[in-house]
């Protein structure tokens, strides 16, 4: 299966609203560079979101290829530019 639940997730996972909000925060912050999960939590509208829910949301967005995570934090990588994707379709396969 292409999309799987993260192995450390016990019980219920984050709501779709949480995943979307984390994605929006990271997409808005793409010009700032990588931001930490703690910073994502501070920027969320709901101030009582568990760190585990943020971590699971980021893991899910990584599976989809929207974000990358490194030692300095999480960074939005998905590109919506139509010219970029048109050029990618024309490129030779590796």
- What would the pLDDT profile of 31-46 be if each residue is shown by its tens digit? 998 999 999 999 998 8
- CATH numbers and ranges of domains, the chain: 16-90 (1.10.10.10)
Q: Name the DSSP letter for residue 72.
A: T
CB 35 within 8 A of CB 26: yes
Residues 84/43, Cβ–Cβ less than 8 Å: no
pLDDT at 1: 47
- Summarised one tens digit per residue, pLDDT across range 38-89 is 999 999 988 788 888 999 999 999 888 889 999 999 999 887 778 876 877 7
Q: What gap in Å lies between CA 78 and CA 8, rounded to an integer?
A: 25
How far lies 25's CA from each of 31, 35, 56, 88, in Å? 12, 10, 15, 26
The pTM assigned to this predicted structure is 0.76
For 70, other C-beta atoms within 10 Å of its C-beta total: 8
Q: What is the pLDDT of residue 4?
A: 64
- pLDDT at position 28: 92
């Amino acid at each position: 299966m292409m999309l799987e639940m993260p192995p450390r997730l016990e019980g219920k996972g984050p709501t779709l609203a949480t995943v979307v909000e984390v994605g929006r925060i990271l997409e808005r912050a793409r010009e700032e560079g990588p931001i930490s999960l703690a910073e994502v939590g501070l920027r969320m509208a709901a101030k009582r979101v568990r760190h585990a829910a943020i971590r699971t949301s980021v893991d899910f967005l990584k599976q989809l290829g929207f974000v990358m995570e490194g030692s300095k934090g999480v960074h939005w990588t998905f590109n919506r530019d139509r010219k970029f994707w048109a050029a990618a379709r024309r490129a030779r396969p590796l």
